[in-house]
Amino acid sequence: MEIKIGWIGLGKMGIPMSMRLINAGYTVTVYNRTKGKDERPASEGALVASSPADLMKQTDIIVVMVSDDQAVRDIFLGHDGLLNPGCTSGKLIINMSTVSPGISIEMEGLCRQSGNYYLDAPVSGSVKQAETGTLVVMAGGDEDIFNQAKPVFDALSKLAIHVGKTGSGNTMKLAVNLLLGIISQGLSEAVIFTRDHGLQVSDLVDVIQNSAIGSVYTKIKGGAILQDNYQAAFAIKHIVKDLRLAKSAGLNTPLGMTALESFHKAETEFAEEDIIAIVKALKK
């Protein structure tokens, strides 16, 4: 039986991810709250729904990838939302947004009451990984439901892993982004220390990349600093949101709290710039 997929949220990640599913042969129907972003998927064969409720009726698996808890609530419970009274039952809703574990627990309960299924399945990776299908998916929810969704995840990722009960995927993603914030600040502090002592940052990047602490991430972000390129792959405003979510979920450790404070201060001036723009904020 053909599986029809609905996609809600056509941001930087949503467009290439939905395109991956189209190219994998799925019938994909898209919806975006801001009109116009559906043009590219539509040009490649996607259908366009008029509302989340309309999309829910047309598809079997619905993927949601929106900005925050309130956006999730609006998509599920707003006017013509996925779970409006009398909504279709038997559908699987996969929430791939980076949001709080609490909103997933709440939405899973509402899905269950309406006869539907829910997974929280945020991803690690950026636009390039979305385009190439090399994201990492971390999913929370019923393992049997995860296994049913696995072919969809396989079209989007190089690894899809079931990490626990509902909300666990969200918690794991917050842990990953906590480390992302700490590494970004640590690299930036090393750069500042190097500059302050009259040494070449290019030499620092070479040393790091040829040492045990080198990684793809430090190579990319070290290169961005060398090129003075702070165009956002992952904006400072988003790491602030995620670190706040982690704090709400119980984060209370020294490096994490310091990172939250640093990025929060940086957000005033550099909110729309890449996470590694923290190097500019720390130098002020």
Name the helix (H) or strand (E) containing 74.
Answer: helix 69-77
Average pLDDT, the chain: 97
- Return the structure tokens found at 6: 């609905």
> What is the pLDDT averaged over residues 230-237?
96
What pTM was estimated for this model as a whole?
0.96
- Return the structure tokens found at 1: 């039986």
- Return the structure tokens found at 187: 């690299």
pLDDT over 90 (residue 52): yes
Name the helix (H) or strand (E) containing 250.
Answer: none
Domains and CATH numbers, the chain: 4-165 (3.40.50.720), 172-283 (1.10.1040.10)
pLDDT over 80 (residue 1): no
DSSP 33: S
pLDDT over 90 (residue 34): no
User: What pLDDT was estimated at residue 242?
Assistant: 98
- pLDDT (tens digit, 9 = 90+) per residue, 60-104? 999 999 999 999 999 999 999 999 998 999 999 999 999 999 999
Contact between 259 and 162 (Cβ < 8 Å): no
pLDDT over 80 (residue 20): yes
- Return the structure tokens found at 193: 């220390």
Q: Which residues are catalytic?
A: 173
